[in-house]
Structure 1
Amino acid sequence: MSRPLAPEVSAAVRQGAGVAVATGLYGISFGALAVVAGLSVAQTAALSLLLFSGGSQFALIGVVAAGGSPLAAVATSTLLGARNMLYGAVVSPLLSLHGWRRAVAAQVTIDESTAVAVGQRTPAAVRAGFWTAGVGVFVLWNAFTLVGALAGDALGDPRAWGLDAAAGAAFLALVWPRLAERRAQAVAGLAVVVTLALVPVAPAGIPVLAAAGVAIVVGATAPAAPPPATGTEADR
């Protein structure tokens, strides 16, 4: 008989699975919009399989749909995807992986897997949350991308189904509990101000990187915060 999972690990798995489902369903929207923008079903599926970064993928097809050059599309997508390097720096010491496992982890280091991982309190829960969210999103995102691409115009505007809000809502649910401290609230507020100021004037990707830069600057210059109080999952 297998040993039951520790409560914090079970909670991390449930959290990761919930995020994976919400984010994966959003893949329908990407698949449909990519085909409408002029990509073939095969190109759309390959983009999700190889690039696997929702924001970068939407940025790419946005440039394509607007008639931009392939170089502009790739540059915009790459710029927005640069944030994943920051995520890698965060989760790498938490996971302590080597060899092929490190390469696999790099492919599934995304917004959702990082958010779930850093929200846990034990090493086992960090690993469980990261892999459940990362692999879960990868599988479901690619599956539903294909569904959306095959459906194409039959779905109409995917935003009418609310799929554009599902991933954002799930991510907000992960971030919200971590804003209890005043420092976190101040950083989040400043990041929002910087993002809103840059969105109308900066290329896609710059506002996201600037918002991440706010957290980096604050973390590098502010005095260290006291360690969080210990507690169980039920205490959160």
Structure 2
Amino acid sequence: MTPEDRFEVRAAVRQAVSVSIATGLYGISFGALSVVAGLDLAQTMVLSLLLFSGGSQFALIGVVASGGTSGAAITTAGLLGLRNTLYGAQLSPLLALHGWRRVLAAHLTIDESTAVATAQKSRAALRAGFWWTGIGIFVVWNLLTLVGALAGDAMGDPKAWGLDAAAGAAFLALLWPRLASRVMQLTAALAVVVAVALLPFVPPGIPVLAAGAVAIVIGQVARQPRQPVTVTEYVPDGAANVPQDGGGEQTPGSSDPDDPGDVGRPGGPSDRTEEP
């Protein structure tokens, strides 16, 4: 690993740690809200450990708290969790994992781990950013979910602590540097407009998927065309038989009609004398 790669890996780890702390803090809010919604401590922790997708977790307990059926809660959480499928399709060829590591990576593929990973420039930094963010959030989130579930009603309204803004602020900090180009700005603006416009009319999760579809369409349309082959890249037929250090000299057996032959070379026509 080059010094530049090591520097990028360290930067990715620092970014991952800061995002893990900011996002994991919101776990205490989930734990408290889950208990208030009617789930006990064990149910809250199993849900958090196995589902591990913040938006889907909050969507599920929101349906439960409003008196919805278990089927409605699972469907809502599942629709919102479909976005992780898009993340997985993007990260799979970049991480190139197999076996149990691939299964673990699938469980840790969330908004923040994807954002940190894809913001990196090198493969080593990408992998470090993904693993440190995914594992960091998993640990901090679930520990604070336990704290929130134990505290329960004693915390009051978790939103009064301002923790609901921590995860959004961390994600915005990751997104902001990537909005430098006009294409990225247009993509973000259209995604927001589509998501907000759909909110009153469709189930939770659909606006997020629609916003993702907008980004995919714009990405395909704005893809840079392949650069044409330049003159210097063109290799004519038979050029492989021409040595590069022989002054354009051809190998025996070549038959170029414009080749001057052996004129000017020792043993060539200009150096031979005619027999009398």
Scaled to the shorter chain, the TM-score interval is: over 0.9
Quick one: structure 1 residues 36 and 177, their matched pair in 2 at CA, closer, same or farther if it must change by over 3 Å? same
Q: Supply the distance in 2 between the matched residues of 1:169 and 1:77 (Cα, whole angstroms).
A: 23
Where do 1:48-87 residues align within 5 Å?
48-87=48-87
TM-superposition CA deviations, 1:62-112 (whole Å, max 9, x none) = 000000000000000000000000000111111111111101100100000
- Which residue in the other structure is 1:45 paired with? 45
Q: CA deviation at 1:44?
A: 0.3
* Mapped contact 2:5–2:124 kept (Cα < 8 A): no
CA distance in 1, matches of 2:189, 2:204: 20
Which is helix-richer, 1 or 2? 1
Q: SS in structure 2 opposite 1:98?
A: coil
8 Å CA contact 2:13–2:128 kept in 1: the answer is yes
Amino acid at match of 1:138: F
Q: CA deviation at 1:219?
A: 1.7
Structure possessing the higher relative contact order (Cα contacts under 8 Å, 6 or more residues apart): 1
Amino acid at match of 1:192: V
Correspondence list, 1:46-195, <5 A: 46-195=46-195
Aligned to 1:233: none
3-state secondary structure, aligned to 2:61: helix
Q: Is the 8 A contact 2:5 2:122 kept in 1?
A: no
Q: Distance in 1 between matches of 2:218 and 2:181?
A: 14
| SS of residue in 2 equivalent to 1:6 | helix
- Tell me, yes or no, if structure 1 residue 29 matches structure 2 residue 29: yes
Distance of aligned partners of 1:42 and 1:123 in 2 relative to their CA distance in 1, 3 Å threshold: same
| Greater C-alpha Rg | 2
Q: In 1, distance between residues paired with 2:157 and 2:223? A: 48
Which stretch shifts more, 215-224 or 115-124?
Answer: 215-224
Identity %: 68
TM-score scaled by length of structure 1? 0.92
Alpha-carbon distance in structure 1 between the residues aligned to 2:149 and 2:66: 19
- Conserved in 1, the CA contact under 8 Å of 2:28 and 2:146? yes
Aligned to 2:245: none
Partner Cα separation in structure 2 for residue 205 and residue 110 of structure 1: 14
Q: Indicate how the Cα distance of structure 1 residues 157 and 175 shifts in structure 2: closer, same or farther if over 3 A, else same.
A: same
Matched-pair contact (CA < 8 Å) for 2:5–2:125: no
- The Cα shift of 1:126 comes to 0.2
Query: Matched residue of 2:25: which SS?
Result: helix
Whole-angstrom distance in 2 between the partners of 1:4 and 1:150: 45
TM-score, scaled to structure 2: 0.79
Give the distance between the partners of 2:211 and 2:69, measured in 1 at CA: 27
Q: Deviations over 1:194-222 (max 9, x none)?
A: 01101111110000000000011112233
Task: Describe the superposition over 1:26-77 as per-residue Cα deviations: whole angstroms up to 9, x where unpaired.
Answer: 0000000000000001000000000000000000000000000000000000
Secondary structure of the equivalent of 1:144? helix
State the AA in 2 paired with 1:57: Q
Secondary structure of the residue aligned to 1:44 is helix
- What's the CA shift for 1:6? 1.2
Shift of 1:226: 9.3
Alignment deviations for residues 148-169 of structure 1 (CA, whole Å, 9 cap, x no partner): 0000001111111110000000
Quote the offset at 1:5 in angstroms: 7.6
1:98-147 C-alpha deviation (Å, 9 max, x unpaired): 11110110010000000000000001100010001000001111111111
Unmatched 5+ stretches in structure 2? 228-276
Q: Which runs of 5+ in 1 are unaligned?
A: 228-236
